[in-house]
Chain A
Amino acid sequence: MLKSVTRALQLSARLSSRSSANRTAPISRSFWSLRSPGAAAASRPKILTAARALPTLSCGCGGLHTDGDKAFAEFLTEEIKEEKKIQKSKSLPKMSGGWELELNGTEAKLIRSLSGEKVTITFNVNNSIPPQLEEEPEQTQKSQEEEPDIVSTPNFVVEVTKSGAKNSLVFDCHFPEDEVGHGDGEEESDIFTIREVSFQPEGEEDWKETSYTLNTDSLDWALYDHLMDFLADRGVDNTFADELMELSTALEHQEYIKFLEDLGTFVKCK
C-alpha cells in the first residue's frame, strides 16, 4: 500500500514537474449526469445542463468521451513528446561482463554462466524510484531550476547455481536509500548492500520461507565481507551495481513512456 502511494506521488510529481500549467484542465463529468443520462437530464435546471452538458463525441465504442478526456489525451501527447525528448536512447544500455538480458514487462533478468556456475540477477522496475526528499531551504531554489534526475534503484536478487547442487544460493540485495539522490553528499554507505542470504530451490519464483534466511543486520562483518567478495568474483560488484542502475533507469523510463502511450490510446479509444 505504501509503495503504491509513493508511486502515485512520484508519478504526479513527474507529471507536474514539466507541465504544471496543464494541471488545471477542467473536469467536465458530473455525478448527477452519470446517474441521470438522456431525457431525465433535460428536465434539470438550465443552469446545470448548460454548464455541465455531456459531450457529444461518439466513436461507436460504447465508451464515454468527455471534454476532460480530450484535454487528458492532449496532455498525454505533450507529456509523451517531452519524455521522448529527454530519453537518452531508445535502446537499453548494455551491461559489461557478458550478461544476457531477458525482459518480461517490467521484470528483467540478467544471466551469465561462468565455469559451471550460472548467475541470475532478477529485478523489477516497478516501485524502484525512491521518493525525492525535501531539500534544505537554501537548496530549494537550485532544485527548482535543475530538476533532479530520476534514478531507478531496484532491489535485486542474485541467484548463484552450481551444476549438480540441489539448491541455489540466493542474495537479496538493495541500494541503500541514503546513497540515492544526494549525489555529492558525504554518504558512507556501500553502493549496494546484501540484506538476506538463503538457499532456495533453483528457479523458484517464491522465496521458500522454511529455508534458513541469513539476515545481515546482525551479521559478523567478516562474514559479510566474504559474501561481498563472493559476489564480486561472480561479476556482481560496484561497477555492476552502477550499470544495473543505468539499465533499470532506462527500462523504467521506457516502460513509463509505453504506459503513457497506452493510457493515451485508452483515453482516446483508438
Chain B
Amino acid sequence: MGVIVRNLQNVVPVRRARLRRDVEILRHIFGVQKFDMGIICVDNRKIQRINHTYRRRNQPTDVLSFPFYEDLRPGKVPCALQRDEYNLGDIFLGVEYVMQQCKETKQDLHQTLTVVTAHGICHLLGYRHETEEEWNEMQQKESYILSEFNRLTGSHLEPLTKR
C-alpha cells in the first residue's frame, strides 16, 4: 500500500502529489520504505478534537502521530514478520494550523508540511521529546533526515524540534 494520503478538510488547498512525493523521499531516508503509513490532512476543529481525546489538550496543533508499534526504541526500525505488520501508523497533519504559522513566518506551506511530517515520522519510530535527552536525540535525527532531504532535493529545510 505504501503511503495513503487523505485530505479531510477544505480550508487549505493541499497538493496531494507534492505531499506524497516528499513523504516518499522522507520514508526512503528513514529507511522505512517497506512500511505503510497514513498521512491525514485535517483542519483545526478536527485536530483539536483528536488532541483533546488522546492527549487531553483542548487546542489545535500541527501534528499528531499514532504509532502502530507502541514501545519502539527510538530510531529502531520495527521487526515486521507478517505483511500487515509492515505498518508504521498514521500521522495527522493540522494543515490549517500549519498554514496559519506559515503566514506569520512567511514560509512555504508544503515545505513546512515536509518538516512537520519528518517530525511525525520520528514519533512513529519511537522518538519522544519529554526530557532534554530525548529532545536532543530527536533533534539530531530530524536534522540528519532534513539535511539528507535538502541534499536530494535542493531544499533548505530546518527541523521542527528546535530550542
| A28 interface contact, C-beta 8 A | no
Contact string against B for A residues 166-193, beta-carbon threshold 8 Å, 1 for contact and 0 otherwise? 0000000000000000001011111100
Whole-angstrom CA separation of A237 from B5 in the bound complex: 15
| A238 interface contact, C-beta 8 A | yes
| A239 interface contact, C-beta 8 A | yes
Q: How many positions in chain B have a CB within 8 Å of any CB in the partner chain?
A: 22
The reply to whether A190 and B6 contact each other, CB–CB distance below 8 Å, is yes
| A226 interface contact, C-beta 8 A | yes
The reply to whether A238 and B7 contact each other, CB–CB distance below 8 Å, is yes
The reply to whether B16 and A225 contact each other, CB–CB distance below 8 Å, is yes
Whole-angstrom CA separation of A160 from B61 in the bound complex: 38
Q: How many positions in chain A have a CB within 8 Å of any CB in the partner chain?
A: 19
The reply to whether B6 and A188 contact each other, CB–CB distance below 8 Å, is yes
Residues of the B chain whose Cβ atoms lie less than 8 Å from the Cβ of A188:
6, 8, 38, 40, 90
Whole-angstrom CA separation of A121 from B15 in the bound complex: 22
Residues of the A chain whose Cβ atoms lie less than 8 Å from the Cβ of B38:
188
For A223, give the chain B residue with the smallest CB separation.
Answer: B17
For B4, give the chain A residue with the smallest CB separation.
Answer: A221
| A222 interface contact, C-beta 8 A | yes
Whole-angstrom CA separation of A191 from B21 in the bound complex: 22
Whole-angstrom CA separation of A241 from B7 in the bound complex: 12
The reply to whether B40 and A238 contact each other, CB–CB distance below 8 Å, is no
| A135 interface contact, C-beta 8 A | no
Interface residues of B in 42-62 (CB under 8 A from A): 49-50
The reply to whether B10 and A229 contact each other, CB–CB distance below 8 Å, is no
Whole-angstrom CA separation of A258 from B3 in the bound complex: 47
The reply to whether A225 and B8 contact each other, CB–CB distance below 8 Å, is no
Interface residues of A in 222-240 (CB under 8 A from B): 222, 225-226, 228-229, 232, 237-239
The reply to whether A237 and B10 contact each other, CB–CB distance below 8 Å, is yes
- Shortest CB-to-CB span from A15 to chain B, Å, is 33
The reply to whether B17 and A229 contact each other, CB–CB distance below 8 Å, is yes
Whole-angstrom CA separation of A136 from B127 in the bound complex: 38
Interface residues of B in 1-32 (CB under 8 A from A): 1-10, 13, 15-17, 19-21
| A242 interface contact, C-beta 8 A | yes
Which of the listed residues B16, B19, B38, B90 has the most CB atoms from chain A within 10 Å of its own CB? B16
Residues of the B chain whose Cβ atoms lie less than 8 Å from the Cβ of A221:
1-5, 20
The reply to whether B8 and A191 contact each other, CB–CB distance below 8 Å, is yes
Residues of the B chain whose Cβ atoms lie less than 8 Å from the Cβ of A191:
7-8, 10
The reply to whether A184 and B16 contact each other, CB–CB distance below 8 Å, is no
Residues of the B chain whose Cβ atoms lie less than 8 Å from the Cβ of A186:
50
Residues of the B chain whose Cβ atoms lie less than 8 Å from the Cβ of A184:
49
Residues of the A chain whose Cβ atoms lie less than 8 Å from the Cβ of B20:
221-222, 225
Whole-angstrom CA separation of A187 from B5 in the bound complex: 14
The reply to whether A238 and B15 contact each other, CB–CB distance below 8 Å, is no
The reply to whether A190 and B10 contact each other, CB–CB distance below 8 Å, is no
Contacts known (A221-B2, A221-B3); A226 close to B10, Cβ less than 8 A:
no
Which of A189, A226, A239, A242 is within 8 Å of B6, CB to CB? Answer: A189
For A189, give the chain B residue with the smallest CB separation.
Answer: B6
Whole-angstrom CA separation of A229 from B6 in the bound complex: 13
Residues of the A chain whose Cβ atoms lie less than 8 Å from the Cβ of B50:
186
The reply to whether A190 and B15 contact each other, CB–CB distance below 8 Å, is no
9 contacts between A and B (CB under 8 A): A184-B49, A187-B8, A188-B8, A190-B8, A191-B10, A221-B20, A222-B20, A229-B15, A229-B17
Nearest 8 CB-CB pairings of A with B: A238-B10, A225-B16, A239-B10, A225-B17, A226-B17, A229-B17, A225-B20, A228-B16
16 additional A-B pairs beyond A188-B40, A191-B8, A221-B5, beta carbons within 8 Å, are: A184-B49, A188-B6, A189-B6, A190-B6, A190-B7, A191-B7, A221-B2, A222-B17, A222-B20, A226-B16, A229-B15, A229-B17, A237-B10, A238-B7, A238-B9, A239-B10
